[in-house]
Homo-oligomer: A and B are copies of this chain.
Amino acid sequence: MKAEIIAVGTELLLGQIVNTNAQYIAQGCAGIGLNVYYQTVVGDNRERIRQAFTLAAERADVVIVTGGLGPTQDDLTKDALSELLGLPISIHGPSMEKIEAVFRDRGLEMVKSNERQANVLEGSDPLPNDNGLAVGIGLTKDGTHYVLLPGPPKEMKPMFDKQAIPWIRAAMGEDASPLYSKMLKFAGIGESSLEHRLIDLIEVQEDPTIAPYAKEGEVSIRLTTRATSEEEAERKLAATEREIRARVGEYVYADRDVPIEHELVAILTASGKTLALAESCTGGMVSEMVTAVQGSSAAYRGGIVCYTNEAKRELLGVPAELLEGEDAPGAISAQTAVLLAEQALERLGADYALSVTGVAGPGESEGKPVGLVYVGIAVRGKSAQSAKLQLSGNRESVRLKAAKQAFYLLWQQLKA
């Protein structure tokens, strides 16, 4: 079966944002054996949106559209499809109630235009939006299956996985030959060295397929196979997974698509242990990532962002001699990293503590190069240790890699 992905939004045509939605949807389509032949981007223009729909309906069986479901006058996706298919628009009761409730809870008066976000087309299946106000739509007309989703990725992605994929599979019926996937997540190893150690497997891959990819300081491998039963799939995937683990198993922190901090919170919670943090160059990023995990409050006591030397002295008792002066190791040193971790452990009464101090850039600091980062790790009842990293990339990327590396070091500790 053929699919076409349409992204609606003038901000895409002006190059203000990158069309990451298309990639996400394309991966999802591949996952259910749906062949994407075209991706299209069109602006917030009713006539051109309608033309894009017309063309897509000629070229594809499934037309997946993102964007243009918002409250404003240039959100025209539903109007254009209604016009094209001659299906009247009506307001979806439950979605309307949800929108009203949201405004009520916030003590705000609802603007009339917000009603547009509850619009559905006659005969369509509403696709609920758990992270926003605009309801999505699944609709089959004249043999073409249309799926309309909102543009903001944080709304679109969960809706696509939870609502659109099942709706499409049902619409595809028999054509959806079942694909089974398994994700292996790696930490502490780069994409290229991982690929290097698996290259012979990757080159001869057929079934299961082996797809490595890297994003935001993490490296993953997705194993995918087509099978008639879950059991058969597991058997086929397990053999390949064993081979991969035999070579690089030490770097595998999870066999599903979760960030490493998610695993850490789970391990800490399960063992009733707690974590504390002391951050310099990451400036709160490590703490933000830990607390982004639901339920992290059970395992995380808190952290200190000691961005200045004064803060390191006053909040964490790092002696001035260590930080300043001719022969002092300085704030960016193994000694400081160790002390920061020890102090965070004590002052927050935690079982484990991580510290990060380094040079995120753009400029050097203490005459030390951009990308030089020390991670300190303290474990109650043991002597604290540190690791020295030399990371590449811009400020954001150095900070992110430093955070992920710190998590990997803690993960090794917890596994030990």
Contacts and interface: CB of A to CB of B under 8 A. Distances in A.
A33 interface: no
Contacts of A195: 71-73, 113
A279 B74 CA distance: 38
B288 A288 contact: yes
A302 B315 contact: yes
Question: Chain A interface mostly helix, strand, loop or mixed?
Answer: mixed
Contact of A290 (B28, B199, B283, B394): B283
A392 B348 contact: no
Contacts of A26: 12-15
The residue among A277, A284, A315 with the most chain B CB atoms within 10 A of its own CB is A284
Interface string A10-38: 11111111111011111111100000111
The residue among A296, A305, A314 with the most chain B CB atoms within 10 A of its own CB is A305
A371 B103 CA distance: 12
Interface stretch (A138-146, A210-218, A244-252, A334-342): A210-218
Given A72-B195, A192-B113, A288-B288, A304 B302 contact: yes
Q: How many monomers of this chain does the complex have?
A: 2
Contacts of A292: 283, 395-396, 399
A41 interface: yes
A178 interface: no
Given A19-B22, A111-B193, A213-B11, A348 B291 contact: no
A88 interface: no
A105 B13 contact: no
Interface string A300-319: 11111111101100110000
A229 interface: no
Contacts of A15: 22-30
Contacts of A18: 18-20, 22-23
Contacts of A45: 37
A415 interface: no
A412 interface: no
A48 B296 CA distance: 44
Contact of A291 (B154, B193, B283, B314): B283
Interface string A376-416: 00000000000000111111110100000000000000000
A196 B315 contact: no
Nearest to A131: B394
Nearest to A55: B55
Given A22-B41, A307-B297, A397 B131 contact: yes
Interface of A: 10-20, 22-30, 36-43, 45, 48, 52, 55, 70-74, 102, 105-108, 111, 113-114, 130-132, 152, 154, 190-193, 195-196, 199, 202-203, 211-215, 222, 277, 279, 282-288, 290-292, 294, 296-297, 300-308, 310-311, 314-315, 347-349, 362, 369, 371, 390-397, 399
7 contacts: A37-B42, A38-B48, A277-B284, A291-B305, A301-B307, A302-B304, A302-B315
Given A18-B23, A294-B395, 13 more contacts: A16-B222, A17-B23, A55-B55, A106-B391, A108-B193, A113-B192, A283-B287, A283-B300, A285-B288, A287-B287, A300-B307, A304-B304, A315-B347
